[in-house]
Chain A
Amino acid sequence: GAVVSQHPSWVICKSGTSVKIECRSLDFQATTMFWYRQFPKQSLMLMATSNEGSKATYEQGVEKDKFLINHASLTLSTLTVTSAHPEDSSFYICSALPRTSGATDTQYFGPGTRLTVL
Protein backbone atom coordinates (compact mmCIF):
# COMPACT_ATOMS: atom_id res chain seq x y z
CA GLY A 1 0.00 0.00 0.00
CA ALA A 2 0.83 3.74 0.03
CA VAL A 3 2.12 3.97 -3.51
CA VAL A 4 2.82 7.26 -5.24
CA SER A 5 3.35 7.43 -8.97
CA GLN A 6 4.78 10.12 -11.19
CA HIS A 7 4.36 10.62 -14.88
CA PRO A 8 6.38 10.92 -16.93
CA SER A 9 9.44 9.27 -15.43
CA TRP A 10 11.66 11.27 -17.74
CA VAL A 11 11.14 14.01 -20.27
CA ILE A 12 13.32 15.90 -22.72
CA CYS A 13 12.06 19.18 -24.08
CA LYS A 14 13.25 22.20 -25.99
CA SER A 15 13.98 25.46 -24.28
CA GLY A 16 10.88 27.66 -24.06
CA THR A 17 8.34 24.87 -23.92
CA SER A 18 6.20 23.90 -20.93
CA VAL A 19 6.23 20.54 -19.26
CA LYS A 20 3.59 19.04 -16.97
CA ILE A 21 4.46 16.42 -14.35
CA GLU A 22 1.76 14.42 -12.61
CA CYS A 23 1.90 13.02 -9.11
CA ARG A 24 -0.74 10.50 -8.05
CA SER A 25 -1.42 8.70 -4.82
CA LEU A 26 -2.66 5.34 -6.05
CA ASP A 27 -4.19 3.73 -2.99
CA PHE A 28 -4.79 6.55 -0.54
CA GLN A 29 -6.09 10.07 -0.40
CA ALA A 30 -3.66 12.88 0.21
CA THR A 31 -4.78 16.28 1.37
CA THR A 32 -1.20 17.48 1.17
CA MET A 33 1.42 16.85 -1.44
CA PHE A 34 4.91 18.25 -1.64
CA TRP A 35 7.17 18.97 -4.57
CA TYR A 36 10.93 18.67 -4.21
CA ARG A 37 13.78 19.30 -6.57
CA GLN A 38 17.04 17.42 -6.51
CA PHE A 39 20.21 18.24 -8.41
CA PRO A 40 22.79 15.50 -9.06
CA LYS A 41 24.46 14.26 -5.89
CA GLN A 42 22.61 16.80 -3.81
CA SER A 43 19.83 16.73 -1.30
CA LEU A 44 16.12 17.29 -1.84
CA MET A 45 15.00 20.88 -1.67
CA LEU A 46 11.37 21.68 -1.01
CA MET A 47 9.79 23.74 -3.76
CA ALA A 48 6.19 23.97 -2.63
CA THR A 49 3.44 22.50 -0.52
CA SER A 50 0.23 21.65 -2.29
CA ASN A 51 -3.07 21.35 -0.47
CA GLU A 52 -6.14 19.96 -2.17
CA GLY A 53 -8.51 22.68 -3.27
CA SER A 54 -6.29 25.60 -2.34
CA LYS A 55 -3.34 27.49 -3.72
CA ALA A 56 0.11 26.04 -3.27
CA THR A 57 2.56 27.53 -0.82
CA TYR A 58 5.93 28.17 -2.41
CA GLU A 59 9.28 28.23 -0.69
CA GLN A 60 11.35 31.36 -0.74
CA GLY A 61 13.19 31.73 -4.02
CA VAL A 62 10.84 29.49 -6.03
CA GLU A 63 9.09 31.35 -8.83
CA LYS A 64 5.35 30.84 -8.64
CA ASP A 65 4.81 31.76 -12.26
CA LYS A 66 7.56 29.43 -13.36
CA PHE A 67 6.43 26.37 -11.44
CA LEU A 68 2.66 26.11 -11.54
CA ILE A 69 1.16 23.66 -9.08
CA ASN A 70 -2.38 22.38 -9.13
CA HIS A 71 -3.91 20.00 -6.59
CA ALA A 72 -7.38 19.48 -7.97
CA SER A 73 -8.22 16.21 -6.24
CA LEU A 74 -7.21 14.15 -3.24
CA THR A 75 -5.11 11.86 -5.43
CA LEU A 76 -3.56 14.15 -8.02
CA SER A 77 -1.19 17.08 -8.00
CA THR A 78 0.51 18.49 -11.07
CA LEU A 79 3.63 20.58 -11.50
CA THR A 80 3.96 22.55 -14.72
CA VAL A 81 7.35 23.99 -15.57
CA THR A 82 6.55 26.92 -17.82
CA SER A 83 8.92 28.22 -20.47
CA ALA A 84 11.54 25.73 -19.40
CA HIS A 85 15.22 26.58 -19.74
CA PRO A 86 18.35 24.42 -19.36
CA GLU A 87 18.80 25.57 -15.76
CA ASP A 88 15.43 23.95 -14.94
CA SER A 89 16.89 20.55 -15.78
CA SER A 90 16.67 18.52 -12.61
CA PHE A 91 15.06 15.57 -10.85
CA TYR A 92 11.60 16.50 -9.60
CA ILE A 93 10.11 14.38 -6.85
CA CYS A 94 6.70 14.57 -5.25
CA SER A 95 5.55 13.16 -1.95
CA ALA A 96 2.12 12.67 -0.46
CA LEU A 97 0.92 12.84 3.10
CA PRO A 98 -2.01 10.48 3.64
CA ARG A 99 -5.23 12.09 4.73
CA THR A 100 -5.31 9.84 7.77
CA SER A 101 -1.62 10.14 8.61
CA GLY A 102 -2.34 11.16 12.17
CA ALA A 103 0.61 10.55 14.46
CA THR A 104 2.84 8.90 11.87
CA ASP A 105 3.39 11.85 9.55
CA THR A 106 4.82 9.44 7.04
CA GLN A 107 5.29 10.91 3.60
CA TYR A 108 5.38 8.60 0.62
CA PHE A 109 7.57 9.60 -2.26
CA GLY A 110 7.09 9.13 -5.95
CA PRO A 111 9.82 7.67 -8.16
CA GLY A 112 10.78 11.08 -9.52
CA THR A 113 10.77 12.72 -12.95
CA ARG A 114 13.99 13.51 -14.74
CA LEU A 115 13.61 16.73 -16.74
CA THR A 116 16.20 17.65 -19.34
CA VAL A 117 15.79 20.94 -21.16
CA LEU A 118 17.84 21.31 -24.34
Chain B
Amino acid sequence: QQQVKQSPQSLIVQKGGISIINCAYENTAFDYFPWYQQFPGKGPALLIAIRPDVSEKKEGRFTISFNKSAKQFSLHIMDSQPGDSATYFCAASMAGRRALTFGSGTRLQVQP
Protein backbone atom coordinates (compact mmCIF):
# COMPACT_ATOMS: atom_id res chain seq x y z
CA GLN B 1 0.00 0.00 0.00
CA GLN B 2 1.44 3.33 -1.07
CA GLN B 3 -1.43 5.46 0.14
CA VAL B 4 -1.18 8.18 2.73
CA LYS B 5 -4.53 9.31 4.13
CA GLN B 6 -4.91 12.88 5.32
CA SER B 7 -7.62 14.63 7.30
CA PRO B 8 -9.41 16.94 7.57
CA GLN B 9 -9.91 18.13 4.01
CA SER B 10 -10.38 21.68 5.22
CA LEU B 11 -9.88 23.48 8.49
CA ILE B 12 -10.87 26.88 9.82
CA VAL B 13 -9.02 28.18 12.87
CA GLN B 14 -9.11 31.46 14.68
CA LYS B 15 -5.96 33.55 14.87
CA GLY B 16 -3.84 32.39 17.79
CA GLY B 17 -5.41 28.95 17.85
CA ILE B 18 -3.86 25.55 17.22
CA SER B 19 -4.23 23.89 13.82
CA ILE B 20 -4.01 20.11 13.79
CA ILE B 21 -3.77 17.98 10.65
CA ASN B 22 -3.56 14.22 10.74
CA CYS B 23 -2.13 11.58 8.43
CA ALA B 24 -2.07 7.81 8.45
CA TYR B 25 -0.10 5.35 6.38
CA GLU B 26 -0.12 1.62 5.74
CA ASN B 27 3.28 0.83 4.34
CA THR B 28 5.72 0.15 7.17
CA ALA B 29 8.61 0.59 4.75
CA PHE B 30 8.07 4.35 4.83
CA ASP B 31 10.88 5.93 6.80
CA TYR B 32 10.68 9.65 6.08
CA PHE B 33 7.65 11.82 6.73
CA PRO B 34 7.73 15.47 5.63
CA TRP B 35 5.06 18.14 5.72
CA TYR B 36 4.77 20.67 2.93
CA GLN B 37 3.00 24.01 2.71
CA GLN B 38 1.66 25.20 -0.61
CA PHE B 39 0.23 28.55 -1.58
CA PRO B 40 -1.97 28.89 -4.69
CA GLY B 41 0.03 28.77 -7.89
CA LYS B 42 3.28 27.93 -6.09
CA GLY B 43 5.33 24.82 -5.52
CA PRO B 44 5.29 23.06 -2.16
CA ALA B 45 7.73 24.24 0.47
CA LEU B 46 9.11 21.94 3.15
CA LEU B 47 7.96 22.84 6.66
CA ILE B 48 9.27 20.05 8.83
CA ALA B 49 10.08 16.37 8.56
CA ILE B 50 10.49 13.41 10.88
CA ARG B 51 11.78 9.84 10.92
CA PRO B 52 10.15 6.91 12.76
CA ASP B 53 12.80 6.76 15.47
CA VAL B 54 11.57 10.06 16.89
CA SER B 55 8.12 10.59 18.41
CA GLU B 56 8.07 14.36 18.20
CA LYS B 57 9.91 17.13 16.45
CA LYS B 58 9.42 20.83 16.91
CA GLU B 59 10.60 23.72 14.76
CA GLY B 60 9.29 27.09 15.79
CA ARG B 61 5.50 27.02 15.76
CA PHE B 62 5.38 23.71 13.89
CA THR B 63 5.43 20.34 15.62
CA ILE B 64 5.20 16.85 14.18
CA SER B 65 3.90 14.10 16.45
CA PHE B 66 4.65 10.57 15.27
CA ASN B 67 3.03 7.34 16.47
CA LYS B 68 4.84 4.43 14.90
CA SER B 69 2.63 1.70 16.34
CA ALA B 70 -0.52 3.41 15.08
CA LYS B 71 1.15 4.39 11.81
CA GLN B 72 -0.04 7.94 12.24
CA PHE B 73 1.58 11.34 12.30
CA SER B 74 0.24 14.82 12.72
CA LEU B 75 1.19 18.44 12.23
CA HIS B 76 0.43 20.99 14.92
CA ILE B 77 0.64 24.67 14.11
CA MET B 78 0.73 26.70 17.30
CA ASP B 79 -0.43 30.32 17.46
CA SER B 80 -1.87 30.07 13.97
CA GLN B 81 -1.68 33.27 11.91
CA PRO B 82 -3.60 34.46 8.84
CA GLY B 83 -0.34 34.09 6.88
CA ASP B 84 -0.49 30.36 7.61
CA SER B 85 -3.58 30.09 5.41
CA ALA B 86 -2.50 27.62 2.74
CA THR B 87 -2.81 24.00 1.73
CA TYR B 88 -0.78 21.53 3.76
CA PHE B 89 0.33 18.15 2.51
CA CYS B 90 1.78 15.28 4.46
CA ALA B 91 3.98 12.89 2.55
CA ALA B 92 6.05 9.77 2.99
CA SER B 93 8.94 8.07 1.26
CA MET B 94 11.10 5.01 1.73
CA ALA B 95 14.69 3.99 1.26
CA GLY B 96 15.39 2.91 -2.28
CA ARG B 97 12.44 4.88 -3.62
CA ARG B 98 12.72 8.48 -2.60
CA ALA B 99 9.73 9.70 -4.55
CA LEU B 100 7.14 11.17 -2.22
CA THR B 101 3.66 9.80 -1.76
CA PHE B 102 1.45 12.72 -0.82
CA GLY B 103 -1.67 12.91 1.26
CA SER B 104 -4.76 14.53 -0.24
CA GLY B 105 -4.07 17.91 1.34
CA THR B 106 -5.74 20.12 3.94
CA ARG B 107 -6.85 23.64 3.15
CA LEU B 108 -6.24 25.72 6.23
CA GLN B 109 -7.91 29.06 6.73
CA VAL B 110 -6.88 31.16 9.72
CA GLN B 111 -9.40 33.85 10.46
CA PRO B 112 -8.22 37.20 11.88
Contact = CB atoms under 8 A, between A and B. Distances in A.
Interface of A: 4, 6, 32, 34, 41-46, 49, 91, 93, 95, 97, 104-112, 114
13 contacts: A32-B98, A34-B99, A43-B105, A44-B44, A45-B102, A46-B100, A93-B43, A97-B98, A105-B32, A107-B46, A110-B43, A111-B43, A112-B43
Contacts of B98: 32, 97, 105, 107
Contacts of B104: 42-43
Contacts, number: 53
List the 10 shortest-distance A-B pairs measured between CB atoms, nearest first: A109-B43, A105-B32, A111-B43, A43-B102, A112-B43, A44-B102, A109-B44, A46-B99, A43-B104, A93-B43
Interface of B: 32, 34, 36, 41-46, 49, 89, 93, 98-105, 107
A44 B99 contact: no
Contact of A44 (B45, B46, B89): B89
B44 A93 contact: yes
A44 B98 CA distance: 15
Contacts of B89: 43-44
Contacts of A43: 89, 102-105
Nearest to B4: A43
A104 B98 CA distance: 11
Nearest to B51: A103
